[in-house]
Amino acid sequence: MRRTGPVLTAVLLLVVSAACSSAPPSPPRDTRPLGAMTAEPLACDGLISARTLRIVVGALPILTTTTGLPDKHLPKGRRYTSCAVKVADAREWALYVGLADPFRGTPRELSDTMAFDKGRPLPEELGPGYSATVPDGKEPAFAYVYGWTPGHERLLSIRIVLGPARDSEADAVELFRYLKPIMLTPEKSR
């Protein structure tokens, strides 16, 4: 006597339960451009549009902390130290923009870090510098850009904790594209 009916029913139940327990589909990727980086209201001591930051971190509201306010006698952004953006109630900063002025590292350290993180050189018009994404093996995963002046006097860094729906490395590069002329231009006389 063959018992194919109960076996077939059991197999169908397993298939249906597996299909029901699979992960929901990922939300569609957010490909909106970052928009006008100078649009009001501004955050990070008036350097970046709060709307742009909300697109990058993917949530509302945002809190920002800025250190090292710019000296009004120098070009905009000089003596700026850092800005950190946090999504309310999150433990980690979602975005960090820092300026090391002077940069105390060495070209060799930058090269070694780029190799270790499998970084990619910035587009020629933005260099010298590179971008990289640090994968899930480190908590939290993040994307970043390091860009510097030709003589390595100053280093601008942008770090974005990876979000599920955006290309954080591309966002970091676009923020760098906007901030480079402000933060890494040669110092002008007072």
Give pLDDT, residue 138: 59
The total of other beta-carbon atoms located within 10 Å of residue 50's CB is: 17
Query: What are the pLDDT digits (tens) for 11-59?
Result: 444 445 555 555 566 666 677 778 788 888 888 878 888 888 888 887 7
Name the residue range of residue 85's domain: 35-183
**117-169 pLDDT tens trace:** 999 999 999 989 999 999 877 566 899 999 999 999 999 999 998 876 789 99
Report whether 62 contacts 71 (CB < 8 A): no
Residue 23 lies in a domain: no
pTM over 0.85? The answer is: no
* Sequence-ordered list of residues with C-beta below 8 angstroms from that of 81, at least 6 positions apart, any chain: 67, 68, 98, 99
Question: In this structure, are residues 103 and 112 in contact, taking their beta carbons and an 8 Å threshold?
Answer: no
Note whether residue 11 is domain-resident. no
Number of structural domains (the chain) is: 1
More confident residue, 1 or 87: 87
Asked if the structure places residue 42 within a domain, the reply is yes
pLDDT of residue 120: 96
Residue 69 lies in a domain: yes
The pLDDT tens digits of the residues spanning 86-122 come to: 887 777 788 899 988 889 899 999 999 999 999 999 9
Residue 15 counted as domain residue: no
- Per-residue pLDDT tens for 66-75? 666 544 444 5
Q: Give the per-residue pLDDT at 74.
A: 41
Split at pLDDT 50, 70, 90, the class of 7 is: low
- Domain membership of residue 4 (yes or no) is no
Question: What pLDDT is attached to residue 2?
Answer: 54
Residue 14 lies in a domain: no
Predicted local confidence at residue 72, as pLDDT: 41
Residues pairing with 34 in the sheet:
none
Cα separation, 132 vs 121, in Å, equals: 9
Q: Are 53 and 39 in contact (CB under 8 A)?
A: no
Is residue 176, in this structure, part of any structural domain at all? Answer: yes
